[in-house]
Amino acid sequence: MRTRFIETLCRLAQEDDRIWLICGDLGYSVLEAFRDRFPNRYLNAGVAEQNMTTMAAGLAHSGKIVFTYSIANFPVMRCLEQIRNDVCYHNLPVKVVAVGGGLAYGTQGYTHHGVEDLAVTRVLPNMTVFAPGDPWEAECVTESAAALPGPCYIRLGKAGEPVVHEERPAFRVGEPLTLRTGTDVAILSTGGMLVTALAAAQLLQEKGILASVVSVPTIQPFSDTAFVFAGKPAAFVATVEEHAEGGLATIVAERIAFGGYDTRLLPFRLGREPLSVAGSQEELRAMKGLSSQAIASNIHQWLST
Amino acid sequence: MTINNAIATSTRATQLRAHALRMVHAVNASHIGTCLSMADLLAVLYGGILNVHPSEPQWPNRDRLILSKGHGAAILYAALAEAGFFAVDELATYCQKGSQFTGHISHHIPGVEVSTGSLGHGLSFGTGMALASKADGLNWRVFVILSDGELDEGSNWEPILLAPHLKLDNLIAIVDYNKIQSFGRVDEVLPLEPLKAKWEAFGWEVQEVDGHDHQALHATLGTIPFKPGKPSVVIAHTIKGKGVSFMENELAWHYRSPNELLLEQALAELGCNS
């Protein structure tokens, strides 16, 4: 995803000289493409995310469209007040990009697990929050982020995620993307869990359960059409996210309550307890029940009761 | 000419002090001490230093001023009103129900670039603006007024480190060094000295000035940048509560608001009896 992100950003910057990129001294082997092509619109702010973010606000206040870039929590948590006050309150076109969201930096420990980012960004004023599920979605949300007049947050995976969409999807900000249809259960996935959600749906099909799979690349704003199909809410919804409380499951629960929908919800997500052991992304996901096998098995059991 | 300017801005500073006193009195607001310490700075900045057009607040080539010590809002609102950004009458709505004149400075007010209130944000904002001005080959400048206590915030030292690296000689920091912060004297809470040496060590061109001497302020602020290729910082030595004898150098006036009697006394000392 990060590769598609920087390719897309370079293309956009070629067309629009208002686009800037500021990094917090991270981006080795990724950002060079932008740095070398647009040296006057690129800045390494040093290991100083607070300054990076508010400086981006200052540039944006002066007519620039500024992408800030760092890994996991660093461009979000360290500078959350800067995002809240300087970027969001002033409604400025600063686009905060976190690469390696979720458990992508699995072995590096909890400091590098970006697992509360969606919860904190989605409640900020004027903020649009993206968590693309594959490189195509990463390209689409990068384009939309550049075009939107206000602040955005983009949670990216790392590199090497498989392409899920066979072709460029018909992406619109705030709209879900349906990858598979099925009438027994709707599986909603955000961010890098999309492949796992699809694999779970396949396993369920082998057990005779037909699952729809819906990718939710835009967390905020969120459209109920992610689980209300043609005006009819799905009876059973499972959410899949590499995130703690406050993310997709919480949003869907709110929507079910506010909409008065006759829908049952089964969340697959991380708990509030930090993961304090090493492991690859896949291993850590599995420890928290975020493998396709565990998801399929739990949905099967849930629907059987 | 300089002497005439100094007389004019000195008179203006007294007006601003009177406005701020009436404003905080009306709503029992805090922060009069910090307003009074920078009255002279604001009077000089809006009295010929800043290149702004009050009739066109968003004029693209304007100099930008950021009040990073956003709790001093009352007197910046007063300065903007007297400069002509909006009617002086509007100051009466300060902190009133539904008013956009909030207790910490608001960008919803004409002439205010940035909302602040949480300390340690303004200088980074100004660094980004100054970078944009440079990148676009323009000449507008960015002035950022900081408090002394605000320099406790580590976030300030990130742009203090970066701005010289970027050679932003269109960025001017002004420290309202009144020596008293929120809960004590600066030299007791978290000493800043040697403050000039710290800025110099980070690569800024520093000038110290008596923040209440209008001739000195005109002379200092009129020669920016102090050195081409380097950001400038003015360390303005000021007195918290300046101009009202019983408020000067008193921590309590970070919080207290004058009652009717004390307001009259204060205005009398300023020669501004209502």
The pLDDT tens digits for A242-301 are: 999 999 999 999 999 999 999 999 999 999 999 999 999 999 999 999 999 999 999 999
On whether any CB of chain B is under 8 Å from the CB of A78, the answer is no
The C-alpha atoms of residue A287 and residue A194 are separated, in whole angstroms, by: 18
Helical (H) or strand (E) element with A198: helix A194-206
Q: What is the mean pLDDT of the segment spanning A139-160? A: 95
In this prediction, residue B274 has a pLDDT band, given cuts at 50, 70 and 90, of: low
Instruction: Count other C-beta atoms under 10 Å from residue A263's C-beta.
Output: 19
pLDDT at residue A184 in the model: 98
The C-alpha atoms of residue B110 and residue B101 are separated, in whole angstroms, by: 11
DSSP B201-238: HHT-EEEEEETT-HHHHHHHHTT-SSSTTS-EEEEEE-
pLDDT at residue B200 in the model: 98
Q: For strand B64-67 and strand B184-185, is the pairing parallel, antiparallel, or unpaired?
A: unpaired
CATH number for region A177-304: 3.40.50.920
The pLDDT tens digits for B223-244 are: 999 999 999 999 999 999 999 9
On whether any CB of chain B is under 8 Å from the CB of A55, the answer is yes
Given CA atoms B228, B212, B209, B199 in this order, what sign does their dihedral have? Answer: negative
DSSP three-state, residue B240: coil
Helical (H) or strand (E) element with B186: helix B186-189
Q: Which two tokens stand for residue A199?
A: 């694999």
Centroid of chain to Cα A213: 16
Helical (H) or strand (E) element with B4: helix B2-27
Comparing CB atoms, the residue among A40, A45, A82 nearest residue B121 is: A82
Q: Read off φ and ψ for residue A104, nearest 5 degrees.
A: -60, -35
The torsion angle over the Cα atoms of residues B25, B26, B28 and B33, rounded to 10 degrees, is -30
The C-alpha atoms of residue A95 and residue A146 are separated, in whole angstroms, by: 8
Chain A residue closest to B137 (CA)? A40
User: Helix B2-27 to helix B260-270 angle, to the nearest 10 degrees?
Assistant: 180
Which of A18, A22, A23, A54 should be substituted to probe chain B, the one whose Cβ sees the most B Cβ atoms within 10 Å? A54
| Domain ranges within chain B, ordered by starting residue | 2-270
Do A133 and A176 meet the contact criterion of CB atoms below 8 Å apart? no
The residue type at A7: E
In this prediction, residue B4 has a pLDDT band, given cuts at 50, 70 and 90, of: confident
Are A61 and B128 an interchain contact pair (Cβ–Cβ within 8 Å)? yes
Q: What is the mean pLDDT of the segment spanning A94-101? A: 97
Q: What is the mean pLDDT of the segment spanning B209-220? A: 98
Please say if the pLDDT value at position B1 is more than 50. no
pLDDT at residue A11 in the model: 98
Fold of B2-270: Rossmann fold (3.40.50)
Which of B130, B142, B174, B150 is CA-nearest to residue B40?
Answer: B174
ipTM computed for the complex: 0.97
SS3 readout for A208-277? CCCEEEEECCEEECCCHHHCEECCEECCEEEEECCCCCCCHHHHHHHHHHHHCCCCEEEEECCCCCCCCC
| Domain ranges within chain A, ordered by starting residue | 2-155, 177-304
CATH class of A2-155: alpha beta
Contacts of A48 in chain B (CB under 8 A): 158, 161-162
In this prediction, residue A159 has a pLDDT band, given cuts at 50, 70 and 90, of: confident
Are B132 and A58 an interchain contact pair (Cβ–Cβ within 8 Å)? yes
The pLDDT tens digits for A199-258 are: 999 999 999 999 999 999 999 999 999 999 999 999 999 999 999 999 999 999 999 999
A2-155 against A177-304: fold identical: yes
